[in-house]
């Protein structure tokens, strides 16, 4: 036993990181509790595309556990990886919703974007693209995705609804689902304000339990409706991606958007977490970052085969780092905890959309915090950032927000004599978006 313990200390370099197995365990448990809401929320989104919900739950858990395990064992990063909420919302409500494309074709687009993502990472073009995009737009992208996610939560819970004249209006908040969703927002936000780290998953479970008390959620009839040894098969989703259909539909802009969202989301999260975990050195270099980036790139490809949207590093890993996690052993523990949730799939399947909607609103609010870093005093920055943020929810498209923000940024800097501040890659990205918008005119 001592030999195994010594091997763990050596393999994960625990002493070099001033950590211990106990600290890593607590870090892994804290990260899992902070991000396990993804098991409730993402499958609920995917079910709206026609995917079997229980199969989606199993697929999500499998890809999350596998990618997070690799992140721990190979990259030695204390980070949890799972399908991103922003990408999942784009996948379910824009690609399969607004465009009305089959989810098989959408998975094909996820595969292609994953391959592009891997190529960009290996050739270091990924870093060049990230460096070319101004920080103000990066912050605006995160905030815009937050607004988009929050709108989805408000819409699916019935708090807001469509209106023939005003386009959007207050929904029937006297309806049980809307009332319970509002209660969930209050509960989760109240717990978060008091520093309770498991506020989101705990809030989801409390609202589900209240829904059961008032007959809005079916009560478990037996123990097997809560826990089971018969794990639902992911077979209905496994290998169902249709790459040919993705290319046939002409999903270049969709593939581009998935790649760009994952690009900025992942690199920002990994760099921020590496700073928090003291992995980054004084010169800004992060040992193992390349391995971490390759891991999520390969994970993106794996997502398409398993049957989920693209995986991304989760910022909730910061809670585990704060609890003591410093190495990949934390990620290994996170992976194991996710695997254990496979036995609770029946319970997860009972959770209604009005219980998961508050999580979307809360996460949207957290993502909106980045607006404080945007230089709104400079109009050349203010308008593009504003358009990036508002066009995502108003057009129900993350891609449109990107396009309006990038194009306006380039044009305003060009006409104001600041054309030299625009890097060539920004011109290329903006032209691609302009062509995409022009094609829609036809």
The sign of the CA dihedral 53, 357, 260, 410 is positive
Cα dihedral sign, 380-386-387-389: positive
Alpha carbons 172 and 161: distance in angstroms, whole number: 8
* Six token digits for residue 423: 């890097």
Tokens 């197995």 appear where? 21
Cα separations in angstroms, 315 against 79, 271, 290: 8, 10, 18
162, burial (CB in 10 Å: exposed 0-12, middle 13-18, buried 19+): exposed
Give the Cα separation of 7 and 290 in Å (integer).
24
Could you give the CA distance from residue 337 to residue 326 in angstroms, rounded to a whole number? 18
Q: Which two tokens stand for residue 131?
A: 């460096």
Domain boundaries, the chain: 17-370
Q: What angle do CA 127, 42, 330 make, to 5 degrees?
A: 60
Tokens 């996690």 sit at which residue? 325
How far apart CA 84 and CA 81 sit, in angstroms, is 9
Q: How is 31-42 classified by DSSP, letter by letter?
A: HHHHHTTHHHHH
Angle at 40 between CA 399 and CA 349, to 5 degrees: 125
Residue range 316-356, pLDDT digits in tens: 787 678 667 888 999 999 999 999 988 887 877 778 888 88
CA distances from 241 to 53, 59, 85, 91 (A): 17, 13, 20, 13
Which run of H or of E encompasses 139?
helix 135-157
| Token pair belonging to 144 | 């815009």
Residue 313 parent element (H or E): strand 311-313
Q: Which residues of 8-31 are buried (b: 16+ CB within 10 A; e: fewer)?
A: bbeebebeebebbeebbbbbbbbb
Please tell me the predicted confidence (pLDDT) of residue 273. 67
For the chain, which residues score pLDDT lower than 70? 126-127, 130-131, 249-253, 260-261, 263-265, 267-269, 271-286, 319, 322-323, 439-442
List, in sequence order, the alpha helices (H) in 158-198: 176-193
Contact in structure between 316 and 325 (CB atoms under 8 Å): no
Residue 322: C-alpha distances to residues 144, 274, 317 (Å): 27, 12, 9
Take residue 337 and report the two structure tokens written for it: 């905890």
End-to-end C-alpha distance for the chain, whole angstroms: 69
In angstroms, rounded to a whole number, what is the distance separating the alpha carbons of residues 274 and 436? Answer: 36
Q: Alpha-carbon distance 310 to 109, whole Å?
A: 10
The Cα angle at residue 154 between residues 150 and 155, in degrees rounded to 5: 115
What are the two backbone dihedrals, phi and then psi, of residue 82, each rounded to the nearest 5 degrees?
A: -155, 165
- Residue 125: per-residue pLDDT: 75
């Amino acid at each position: 036993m001592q030999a195994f313990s010594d091997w763990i200390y050596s393999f994960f370099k625990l002493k070099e990181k001033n950590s211990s197995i106990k600290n890593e365990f607590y870090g892994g448990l804290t990260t899992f509790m902070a991000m396990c809401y993804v098991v409730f929320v993402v499958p609920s989104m995917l079910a709206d595309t026609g995917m079997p919900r229980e199969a989606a739950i199993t697929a999500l858990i499998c890809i999350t556990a596998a990618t997070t395990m690799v992140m721990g064992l190979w990259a030695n990063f204390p980070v949890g990886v799972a399908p991103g909420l922003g990408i999942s919302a784009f996948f379910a409500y824009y690609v399969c919703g607004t465009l009305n494309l089959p989810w098989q074709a959408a998975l094909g687009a996820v595969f292609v974007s994953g391959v592009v993502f891997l190529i960009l990472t290996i050739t270091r073009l990924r870093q060049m693209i990230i460096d070319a995009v101004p920080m103000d737009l990066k912050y605006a992208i995160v905030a815009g995705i937050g607004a988009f996610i929050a709108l989805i939560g408000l819409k699916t819970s019935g708090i807001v609804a469509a209106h023939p004249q005003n386009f959007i209006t207050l929904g029937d908040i006297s309806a049980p689902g809307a009332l319970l969703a509002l209660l969930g927002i209050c509960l989760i936000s109240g717990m978060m304000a008091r520093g309770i780290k498991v506020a989101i998953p705990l809030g989801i479970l409390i609202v589900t339990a209240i829904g059961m008390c008032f007959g809005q959620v079916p009560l478990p009839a037996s123990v097997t409706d809560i826990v089971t040894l018969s794990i639902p098969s992911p077979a209905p989703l496994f290998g169902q991606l249709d790459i040919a259909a993705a290319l046939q539909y002409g999903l270049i802009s969709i593939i581009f958007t998935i790649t760009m969202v994952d690009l900025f989301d992942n690199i920002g999260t990994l760099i921020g977490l590496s700073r928090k975990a003291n992995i980054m050195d004084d010169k800004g270099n992060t040992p193992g970052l390349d391995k971490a980036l390759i891991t999520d790139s390969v994970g993106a490809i794996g997502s398409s085969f398993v049957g989920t949207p693209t995986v991304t590093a989760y910022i909730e890993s910061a809670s585990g780092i704060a609890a003591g996690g410093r190495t990949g052993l934390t990620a290994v523990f996170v992976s194991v905890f996710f695997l254990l949730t496979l036995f609770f799939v029946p319970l997860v399947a009972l959770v209604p959309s009005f219980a998961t909607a508050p999580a979307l609103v809360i996460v949207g609010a957290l993502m909106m915090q980045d607006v404080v870093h945007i230089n709104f005093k400079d109009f050349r920055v203010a308008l593009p950032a504003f358009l990036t943020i508002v066009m995502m929810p108003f057009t129900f498209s993350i891609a449109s927000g990107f396009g309006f923000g990038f194009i306006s940024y380039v044009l305003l800097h060009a006409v104001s004599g600041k054309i030299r501040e625009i890097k060539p890659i920004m011109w290329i990205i903006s032209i691609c978006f302009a062509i995409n918008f022009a094609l829609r005119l036809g």
